[in-house]
Every structure is written in C-alpha cells, then in structure tokens.
Amino acid sequence: MPFALRRSIGMHVLEARQFERAWLESTLFPLADRMAGLAEFGAHRLLDGKRLFWLFFEPSTRTRVSFESAIALLGGTATGIQVDPRAELIEERLEDRVRVINGYGYDYLLLRHHEEGGAERAAAVSNAAVINAGDGAGEHPTQALLDAYTIWKEVGRLEGLRIALVGDLTHERSTASLARLLARCGIARLDFVSPEMLPPRPNIKAELDAAGVPYRELRDVRQVAADVDVLYLTRAHTERLLHAQRMERESGFYAVDRSVLDLLPEQSIVMHPLPRGAELPPEFDSDPRVACFRQARNGLHVRMALLLALSRDAVG
Ligand code: CP
C-alpha cells in the first residue's frame, strides 16, 4: 500500500473537508472499485490482524454493519458496544472510555456519538484511528464519501453537476458532510431545499462561497426537479420538519411523488442515506433512477477502501 494513501488524509476521519477531489478520484474511488471486485470473491488478508472497535451511542444499521463487513472481508476483526446515554446510571466520560480502549490495542475506533464534536474529543486522546460514524447534528463524513462515490459511479463524474439536498438541512449530518465535500469537487450548483426555519448552517454556505460554488435556497423539490443531476432526499417527517412547516404555514414539498419523477431528467439519480420515511415511497423503487440501495451497498466498498487507506501499514 503506497505511503501517500494515508499521508494525504491524516490519522483520523473526522470531517468531510479533510478530503480533496483529486484524492477521491485518483485514489479512494478506484480503490473502492477494486474492493467491489474483491468483495465478490470472498475474504482477503489485506488487513490481517487489524482490529476495529465500534462504540455507538446511537443505533445504526448501515454504518455499523458495512464497517464490520468491510474489515471482516479484508481479514481483520470487529467488536464493540452499544451505549444508551439515557440509560447510564453513572455517566462515564467519553475521553475515559477512549483511554481504556487505548489499552486494548485497537487499530480503528469507529465512533457514533450523540453530541456534535464527539469524534473530535475522542481523537484528541485516541491511539487508534478515530472514524466519525456520525456526531449528533455535526458530520457523517464516511456517508459523504460513499455518497460522492455513488454519484461518481452512477453519473460518471462530480465536476459540473447540479445537485439538490432536501430536508432538515440544519440538523441533518449526512447533507452537512456531503455539502462540505461537494464544495471541494467542482460541482456546478448546489440547491438547498428546506423550510425557512431549517436552512443549511452558515459555515457550509461560507465554504461554498469560498470555493466559488453557487447555491440556491428553495422550499419545494418541484422547483428544482427538472434541472438537477442528483436529488438527495432525507427524512421529511421528523418532528422538527413538520413543526417548521406548521410554523411557516408554507406548502413546501420535500418528497418524491409521481409528479417529481416525471420532472426529473432521464439520466439523473435519486439518493437517500436511509432509513427513509414517506418522502421516498417504496412504490418508486423500481424506477432505475432511485439509487438508495445501490448507494448503501457502495458503502461497503468505500469503507473497505477507507480502512486500507487508514491502515498503519500504509505508513511504510
Ligand atoms: N445512513 C446511515 O448512517 O445509516 P445508519 O444510521 O443505519 O448507520
């Protein structure tokens, strides 16, 4: 494994903006393509002896299972614990837990924390490579990597694309990370479709401004559907989103229905990080543009590639 693979991203994976388009397109995505081929033919020994610990303060299906599968397919092992922060009688400091895990000699610490900044706190004291598997309303950088890979694979490129992110854009970490990553990928335009009360955070807009990526803030998917390459939905029926819509007395629309699909270009794709709600009805799954399950599967291959990139062996 070449030295540059790890040197270019650092020891930990904490936020999307630590990745550059050149590294994604030249290194991570081709490696993920190779991992898709390897995964077809069963286990390999590329991470023989490597050990991953997962520490999750919120539930997960995709992130946890794809990382566990990824390291197993590469010859390593995974173990971990699910913590319910509300059920703890004596709350243990995150930093103390990480220091204890340091003593057990893990190579990777996959952390899903309920508070923004949790991954950064863990990284400050961890001997293992911390991978942010979601920190409150903060970031979900490996979701952004698999999302960008899905776009690259399905549409054929990132440069010049028109992409719409839809939902509660203040609190949704998948769209926060993806917007920050796309700001660095030469896209043509980003559309934020959310209630007025739930806009993207100012730091995200500042990064787009700094990168010279134009963006619009809109309230209705139907305003953008005819003019996008990627429509990225998130859950539209959360308490917060429904409350915002009630407060604003607006008729915003944050879902896919037949009228939206009829507007969408033939070559576009519809993405969703899952789990989904009524915003993406299963009756449309047979539409080839609906990519959410291909997207989830790509997570396995991207996470295999990322674990390789972070491997201590890569330091040479
Ligand atoms: N997309 C995503 O993060 O899914 P999980 O919550 O199941 O990991």
Contact between 137 and 194 (Cβ < 8 Å) = no
Phi (first) and psi of residue 308, to 5 degrees: -65, -45
The Å distance, Cα 39 to ligand 1 centre, comes to 21
Residues with CB under 6 A from ligand 1: 60-63, 134, 140, 143, 273-274
Q: What is the reported pLDDT for 284?
A: 98
**Cβ neighbourhood burial of 86 (10 Å; 0-12, 13-18, 19+):** exposed
Q: What is the reported pLDDT for 238?
A: 84
pLDDT tens profile 36-49? 999 888 778 999 99
In this prediction the pTM is: 0.95
Q: What is the reported pLDDT for 43?
A: 74
Strand partners, 51: 77
pLDDT at 96 over 50: yes
Q: How many CA atoms lie within 13 A of 17 on its CB side?
A: 12
The Å distance, Cα 59 to ligand 1 centre, comes to 8
Q: What is the reported pLDDT for 67?
A: 98
* Cα end-to-end span (Å), the chain: 8
Nearest CA to ligand 1 atom 5: 60
Between residues 96 and 43, which one has the greater pLDDT?
A: 96
pLDDT at 316 over 60: no
pLDDT tens profile 9-25? 679 999 999 999 999 99
Residue 8's pLDDT band (cuts 50, 70, 90): low
**Cβ neighbourhood burial of 300 (10 Å; 0-12, 13-18, 19+):** buried
Which atom of ligand 1 is least distant from the CA of 140?
3
pLDDT at 156 over 60: yes
The mean pLDDT value of the chain amounts to 93
Q: What is the reported pLDDT for 83?
A: 93
The Å distance, Cα 212 to ligand 1 centre, comes to 31
Q: What is the reported pLDDT for 124?
A: 97
pLDDT at 131 over 50: yes
pLDDT at 202 over 80: yes
Which atom of ligand 1 is least distant from the CA of 64?
8
Contact between 197 and 247 (Cβ < 8 Å) = yes
The Å distance, Cα 210 to ligand 1 centre, comes to 30
Residue 91's pLDDT band (cuts 50, 70, 90): confident
Q: What is the reported pLDDT for 218?
A: 96
Q: What is the reported pLDDT for 42?
A: 77
**81-85, 239-243, 264-268, 310-314: range with highest mean pLDDT:** 264-268
